[in-house]
Amino acid sequence: MKKMRSVLNKTELAGGVLFPLFTLFLILRDDPLTTNLSWVGNGLGYRLLLVLWAIAGALVFRAMIRALAEALNVSLQRREDLTFLLMIASMLVPYLPESFPFLAQLHILVSNLAFLALNLLILRVFYAGQRRRWQLGRWGMEMTAGILVVCALLYIRFLSVNSLLEMFYTAAMAWLLILARRKCGPVPQDKRPDSFQ
């Protein structure tokens, strides 16, 4: 049993290892303390990679959240897929403040909405999951809050959303979802979760 649980399935490998590595590859294109992924993608000419990053992130977070919701018997609605569409849309809008100030502001707005929607969805799954696993649901909400507090402290320290903050959030939230799912019981190897109700 321990050996099986120590092996990552495809969703966990993608969300917990490959996607954070993809994020790390992008943020190292420039100084992670003074720039962010929006600048790397739009200002340094990595726009295609940025869009692919957004699509990959939406897909892996959707898969991890669905797997956790299924394990906790939490029903998710199709409309909640809008969260992941916002994640993709945020990177489709260019961020070039000097050339396209309106689009840059729209990019910031959509990005913030996507971030808010993603965290509210994760918190909703943990909150609803308390009906089946009260301690796990409460632990998940506390850990989510802790991750957001660290993100806030990083923002206050650097007075911006920089790549370090983005890297921390991506890796920390992915592993929170993975660990929470594993706390629910044995992880089916590469079993595809049922579609949203």
Q: pLDDT tens digit string along 26-69?
A: 999 999 999 999 999 999 999 999 999 999 999 999 999 999 99
Per the listing, tokens 């909640």 go with 80
Residue 128: exposed, middle, or buried by beta-carbon count in 10 A (0-12, 13-18, 19+)?
middle
Per the listing, tokens 């299924």 go with 70
* pLDDT, the chain, mean: 90
pLDDT band at 6 (very low <50, low <70, confident <90, very high): low
Give the mean model confidence (pLDDT) for residues 4-29: 90
Per-residue pLDDT tens digits for 172-196: 999 999 999 999 976 555 444 444 4
Q: Centre a 10 Å sphere on the Cβ of residue 75 and count the other Cβ atoms it contains.
A: 9
pLDDT band at 167 (very low <50, low <70, confident <90, very high): very high
Give the mean model confidence (pLDDT) for residues 146-157: 97
Closest CA to 57 of 37, 33, 79: 37
Residues 124 and 65: beta-carbon distance below 8 Å = no
Q: What are phi and psi of 101, to 5 degrees?
A: -60, -40
Give the mean model confidence (pLDDT) for residues 115-124: 97
Residues 154 and 139: beta-carbon distance below 8 Å = no
